[in-house]
Amino acid sequence: MPVLGSEIDAENLTLTFVAEFSAPVERVWQVWEDPRQLERWWGPPTWPATFERFEFEVGGRADYYMTGPDGTKAHGWWRITAIDSPVRLSLEDGFADGSGNPIDENDTNSTVAVLETVATGTRMTVIATFKDLAQLERLSAMGMQEGMTAAMNQIDAILVTAA
């Protein structure tokens, strides 16, 4: 499964991520639509996700939590904003408290997933958009774990080249 790449737009705080899978679009759609499959990939092995409520419809809500190595639970929620089965899904994602109540209904980041048929199977494009730097920092702090820290390189400088 090749990861085709990612593109970041630091000014607009957007990440575009593209990966391809050798399976048809309808099958790849299922990993988003079926909460039991979603739970198997949304969080890493060290912070697995559990979806308690999952209303896969426009305007629907999902409630989930991630469980850390020491049993700590970090709660989140989704609001599904658009569904075009089986090719496009759009959702807002935010933090919730221990009872699953959104901490701030307006403090959400958006995720759009687009599936297209390609010769080798399915191309999945994910566009994640963040509200501001502070939000991105909070989310990244949550996502920090051994594997990711190793992958994150220290940035020393921005290189400006004339091409």
Residue ranges binding another protein (CB under 8 A): 1, 3, 6-11, 13-15, 17, 19, 21-23, 27-28, 31, 37, 40-42, 44, 124, 126, 128, 133, 136-137, 139-140, 143, 147-148, 151-153, 155, 158-163
**Nearest approach, Cβ of residue 153 and another protein (Å):** 5
Strand order in the sheet with 14-21: 3-9, 14-21, 121-129, 108-118, 88-96, 73-84, 61-67, 49-54
Task: Measure the CA–CA gap between 73 and 77, rounded to whole angstroms.
Answer: 13
**Nearest approach, Cβ of residue 28 and another protein (Å):** 7
DSSP 42: S
Residue closer to another protein, measured from CB, 31 or 74: 31
In three-state secondary structure terms, 28 is helix
Residue closer to another protein, measured from CB, 9 or 105: 9
**Nearest approach, Cβ of residue 15 and another protein (Å):** 5
Residues 6+ apart with CB under 8 A from 115: 25, 28, 29, 86, 87, 88, 122, 123, 124
**Nearest approach, Cβ of residue 82 and another protein (Å):** 20
